[in-house]
Amino acid sequence: MSETLLRALQDLREGRIVLVYDADDRERETDMVIPSEMVTPATIRMMRKDAGGLICTTVHNDIRENIGIPYLADIFSDISDRYPVLSKLTPDDIPYDAKSAFSITINHRKTFTGITDNDRALTISEFAKLSRAALSTANGWAKDEFGKHFRAPGHVYLLNARKDLLVTRTGHTELATALMVMAGVTPTATICEMMGDDGNSLPKESAQKYATKHDIRFLEGREIVKAWRSGEWSR
């Protein structure tokens, strides 16, 4: 495992953001990534100001199954008989992906509008707490707690990671979730794409310069995939 990846994992354990570029043949985007359990209002502020993309929270498959969190595309499919227009919106033409990771949007019930830095940080950190508990419980407890403490729709976008992490899909959802597993923290990450001032995603070279300027680790998706598949991180 590379020294950069080792240092990045330690940064994540300490609640620091790392940058992850997926691949030249995929989205060609760099995301800010941090463990959801360590998100603060300052994290949200940094993401919306310095990154500018959509702030999302990933969900490990074990958490998804224990809580019962669906894929949004599956929800649309299930209710398309009632709302036929939804059947026409099937995301089957994504040029870099086979299936969208998007799930539902949530707010914690103690939030007000849900969109402020404080509100989103509360929703994300509380979701991380529930996620950790959900990994060690069964019998519907997590489902009940989810409904008790969260409402939908909201302002935090959940992204479901594939069960076979980094096998059939190597998007930011899987890359970030795998990093959480490798770092030994609760396997939910909060991520945000870095945007450029020209209306497009921030070029990789610009993201690397940002990382150097702010002393942030910059990772390429391929090195995360290589370490994950080799099992180096678990030795």
How does pLDDT run across 135-159, given as a tens digit for each residue? 987 668 899 999 999 999 999 999 9
Instruction: Give pLDDT, residue 98.
Output: 67
Catalytic residue selected from 21, 29, 37, 56: 56
Dihedral sign for Cα atoms in the order 140, 142, 148, 154: negative
Catalytic residue selected from 22, 27, 29, 31: 31
> Is 61 in the active site?
no
Catalytic residue selected from 22, 29, 126, 193: 193
- DSSP SS3 for 190: strand
Cα–Cα separations (whole angstroms), residue 65 to 61, 70, 71, 140, 143? 6, 9, 11, 10, 10
Task: Write down the mean pLDDT value for the chain.
Answer: 94
Choose between 174 and 136: higher pLDDT. 174
Instruction: Give pLDDT, residue 193.
Output: 98
How does pLDDT run across 183-218, given as a tens digit for each residue? 999 999 999 999 999 999 999 999 999 999 999 999
Catalytic residue selected from 83, 96, 144, 214: 96
User: In sequence order, what are the beta bridge partners of 50?
Assistant: none
> Is 56 in the active site?
yes
Catalytic residue selected from 27, 66, 107, 119: 107
How does pLDDT run across 64-86, given as a tens digit for each residue? 999 999 999 999 999 999 999 99
Catalytic residue selected from 11, 117, 145, 155: 155
Percent of the chain with pLDDT over 90: 86
What pTM, to 2 d.p., does this model score?
0.95
> Is 192 in the active site?
no
| Residue 97 pLDDT grade (very low, low, confident, very high; cuts 50, 70, 90) | confident
Would you say residue 234 has pLDDT above 90? no
> Is 160 in the active site?
no
Instruction: Give pLDDT, residue 235.
Output: 66
Place of tokens 């994290």: 43
Instruction: Give pLDDT, residue 215.
Output: 97
**Count of domains forming the chain:** 1
Residue 20: name the closest of 233, 175, 225 by CA: 175
Name the residue range of residue 179's domain.
3-234
| CATH code of 194's domain | 3.90.870.10
